[in-house]
Amino acid sequence: MSDEAPCPVFDVRIADTGEVYQCPARETLLKAMARLGRKGIPSGCHGGGCGVCKVRVTGEVTTMAMSRSHVSETEERQGYVLACRCYPRGHLSVEVVGKLHKAVTRPRYGFV
Amino acid sequence: MGVMRIGHINIRVLDMDAALHHYENVLGLLRADQDGDGNVYLRGWDEWDKYSVILSPSDRAGMNHIAYKVESDDDLDVLRRRIEAYGIEVEECPAGALPDCGRSLRFHLPSGHLMYLYAEKTYVGKAVSTTNPDPWPDGLKGAGVHWLDHALLMCELDPESGVNKVEESTAFMQDVLDFKLTEQVLVGPDGDIKAATWLARTSTPHDIAFVGGPVKGLHHCAFFLDEWSDVLKAADVMAKNKVKIDVTPQRHGITRGATIYFFDPSGNRNETFAGLGYLAQPDMPVITWTEDELGRGIFYHTGELNEAFTTVYTEGA
């Protein structure tokens, strides 16, 4: 038997695809998705610095520091968060805002 | 004469306690100092100047500036004239503007990144001393990195709008600061667009690199390890500490370095870079990578560009 208190687990629904995965309260939305091998939210630095995992969340969450380069205070009040800095406090729905490739439709020059 | 090597990098972090755990316990840097503004100064055990990393508390991740050390104080006067003659504004900062450093030159690369040059920094000596030294000190933590090795800066590249800050910053480093171009990636229909470059003042494959991306940024700063077995151990240390690894141990085709890409707790990418690659002498011919083999240039084993390589990075200023 573990001495640790049981950790609540919440459903996270990715609105864009309708997929649902489970995220424990002690794990970030992005980490839980990646650990389960699931896709949907772009996965980047996992440190709140690069911004690719930006989502708009509906539901209760707590967040850690996120780079203001990617989430302004106004946006944060409107529910925009970086999934790598965000812990669920109830069942959630997220809408993916961040993108890995911003330029898929134009010719690429090596890296861009 | 001129620039010797990378001197330090100033990185912004969102959570200083988490950052210090990462840079001290995971990478194994030694804490050198802390100032009244909360900036923390660190160095590798094999370095002799007081610091090579400044961590600054901030609400935005990324890089404030990068600094290179020149050989003598007189070099600063020569280089100031050359930079100004190139059309770039230079500010001369008094001793102490960069903590524990002599006077410095402050200017922006054509790519917009802030760079300093300085000739003097407080000497503290290597952790193994200079008299009959052991090959490594006791008590090293984590990966036990030797020194800050290089940085890769993302530069705006949009050939259709005629924007190529990789090319502009490269030309500046070559023409004004006398860096040697060791490797380049050429892309586009005619294979003539410089999309990435690696440049050196030391005899290693690079002391700085530029890669084209949508916006200016800090791609990574790299810390030196001796060899492949150190890379594996470093990856174990990262796994133990649940560090987000971007690319597990692998070899770069470009520079031949054995590498791990990973992120600090604020999302700034780090690298541990092992091996000296090759001897980058001034007369060594430039190595060129073509667009079709670009993936192998970056990640030699998989030969595939990782999607995050040019899209996941933090701010460059």
Query: Taking the domains of chain A in order of start, what are their residue ranges?
Result: 9-96
Beta strands in B95-238 (DSSP E): 104-108, 114-118, 148-158, 163-164, 180-187, 193-200, 208-213, 217-225
Averaged pLDDT for residues A54-80: 96
Q: Positive or negative CA dihedral for B72, B78, B82, B85?
A: positive
Pick the CATH number of B3-118 from 3.40.50.1950, 3.30.70.20, 3.10.180.10, 3.40.50.300: 3.10.180.10
Dist CA B261 CA A97 (whole Å): 25
Q: Is B197 on the interface with A (CB under 8 A)?
A: no
Q: Is A17 on the interface with B (CB under 8 A)?
A: no
Interface pTM, i.e. ipTM:
0.90
Average confidence (pLDDT) per 10 residues, chain B, 317 residues: 97 98 98 98 98 98 98 98 98 98 98 98 96 96 98 96 97 98 96 96 97 96 96 98 96 96 98 92 96 94 86 91
pLDDT at A101 (0 to 100) = 53
The CATH H-level (homologous superfamily) assignment of domain A9-96 is Beta-grasp domain (3.10.20.30)
Nearest CA to B3 out of B47, B69, B51, B102 is that of B69
Q: Cβ separation of A67 and B265 shorter than 8 Å?
A: no
Nearest CA to A31 out of B290, B245, B104 is that of B245
Query: Taking the domains of chain B in order of start, what are their residue ranges?
Result: 3-118, 148-315
Kindly tell me if the per-residue pLDDT of A102 is higher than 90. Answer: no
Q: Cβ separation of A102 and B311 shorter than 8 Å?
A: yes
- Residue A62 Cα, gap to closest chain B Cα (Å): 16
Dist CA B199 CA B136 (whole Å): 29
Neighbours of A57 (CB within 10 A): 20
Q: Is A103 on the interface with B (CB under 8 A)?
A: yes
pLDDT at B143 (0 to 100) = 98
- Residue A33 Cα, gap to closest chain B Cα (Å): 14
What's the pLDDT band for A2 if we cut at 50, 70, 90?
Answer: low
Establish whether domains B3-118 and B148-315 are of one fold.
yes
* B303, B252 contact by CB (below 8 A): no
* B152, B259 contact by CB (below 8 A): no
- Residues paired with B155 in a beta bridge: B212
pLDDT in tens, A25-51: 999 999 999 999 988 999 999 999 999
pLDDT at A104 (0 to 100) = 47
What's the pLDDT band for A103 if we cut at 50, 70, 90?
Answer: very low
What's the pLDDT band for A1 if we cut at 50, 70, 90?
Answer: low
In sequence order, what DSSP letters do the residues of B278-294 get, joined into one string?
S---TTSPPEEEEGGGH
pLDDT at A41 (0 to 100) = 93
Dist CA A48 CA A78 (whole Å): 18
- Number of A/B CB contacts below 8 angstroms equals 116
Q: Which chain A residues have a beta carbon less than 8 Å from that of B307? A: 100-101
pLDDT at A105 (0 to 100) = 45
- The two most distant CA atoms of chain B are separated, in Å, by 58
* A42, A52 contact by CB (below 8 A): yes
* B33, B57 contact by CB (below 8 A): no
Q: What is the mean pLDDT of chain B?
A: 96
pLDDT at B317 (0 to 100) = 80
How far the first Cα of chain B sits from its last, in Å, is 28
pLDDT at A108 (0 to 100) = 72
CATH class for the region spanning B148-315: alpha beta
Q: Provide the residue type at A36 as one letter.
A: L
